[in-house]
Amino acid sequence: MGKSSKDKRDLYYRKAKEQGYRARSAFKLLQLDEQFRFLDNVTRVVDLCAAPGSWSQVLSRRLFEEDPENCDQKRIVAVDLQPMFPIDHVTTIQADITHPKTLSKIMDLFEGEKADFVCSDGAPDVTGLHDLDEYVQQQLILSALQLTTCLLREGGVFVAKIFRGRDIDMLYSQLGYLFERVVCAKPRSSRGTSLESFVVCLGYKPPTNWEPRLDVNMSVEDFFRGCDIGRLTIKDELPAYHEEPRSVAEFISCGGLGSFDSDATYHDVPLNSIALDPVQPPTNPPYKRALELKRKGKLTRAAQ
């Protein structure tokens, strides 16, 4: 397979390199914003699970380069478990979003002000055990949501990657209690063959008298206590039938039909050069140690 064949098979991968983005995911945020315009007039932004940083690059270009007014008031904070190479106008924190100390680190950087926009493109390492993977992904979304409820101003926007699994309706219901409008959006740059989608939650509006609290040990039930999300209880007598309130998220496909299809191979798009190097090599790849050992001639094959 030629060095440029991935560029042809995945036009977004190619375009990301041409436009200086560290990952093709940049186009997912760009296409979501094209649809919802949630990055217009935002000042304080949090990018959770941000490495290698293509979403932060989009945010930096949008907030600082395309709209250079009031730059001294603008702030972008990016958080990831992995170290990130610096990005102009972005403060990076290497931390776990499920750890309560991460919240106070972000709050310190915002000096008591709330954020206008929080996004999370988080994905845990997959094990291949589907139930476990789905559970860990759900927990990551919940952590992002818990952080968001403590950081976001009323009326603010939250965008998060989800995988449309069996229990996704429950998440839509929970989000529906906290936001005025919840949309499940699939950008054209997200492969149609993947269950990946994004929840776009517009107009943060927590119930009155509901105080968000961040505690890793708190169950989902406890976190949403007071949000009046209907639940079933076991009683000796059957209660009168009562239909539970239920939120069904709208589904929107965004990116426009004119944009590239991420599942198609393009042979007729002229490529500027044969192959482009990655914009940013990984900071700490798992194969780094193997390469070091190989260089020193210490890499041996495991006995068969």
Residue among 216 and 291 whose Cβ is closer to ligand SAM: 216
Instruction: Give the range of 6-14, 23-31, 240-248, 267-275 binding ligand SAM by CB under 6 A.
Output: 23-31
CB of 284 to ligand SAM, least distance (A): 10
By CB under 6 A, residue 145 contacts ligand SAM: no
Position among 52, 156, 187, 255 found at the interface with ligand SAM (CB under 6 A): 52
Please check whether residue 45 is in contact with residue 117, taking contact to mean a CB–CB distance below 8 angstroms.
yes
**What are 18's two structure tokens?**
């041409």
- Measured CA to CA, the distance from residue 249 to residue 100 in angstroms comes to 29
Q: Is 40 exposed, middle or buried (0-12, 13-18, 19+ CB in 10 A)?
A: exposed
By CB under 6 A, residue 81 contacts ligand SAM: yes
The yes-or-no answer on residue 235 being catalytic is: no
Using only the alpha carbons of the chain, give its radius of gyration.
21
Kindly state the number of chain residues that form the binding site for ligand SAM, as judged by CB under 6 A.
23
Q: Tell me the C-alpha to C-alpha distance, in Å, between residue 202 and each of 37, 75, 83, 156, 181.
A: 11, 20, 30, 7, 5
Helix (H, G, I), strand (E, B) or coil at 262: coil
User: Tell me, what amino acid is at 304?
Assistant: Q
By CB under 6 A, residue 98 contacts ligand SAM: yes
CB of 155 to ligand SAM, least distance (A): 24
Binding-site residue positions: 53, 55, 80, 96, 121
Positions in the binding site for ligand SAM (CB under 6 A)? 22-23, 25-26, 49-55, 79-82, 96-98, 121-124, 140
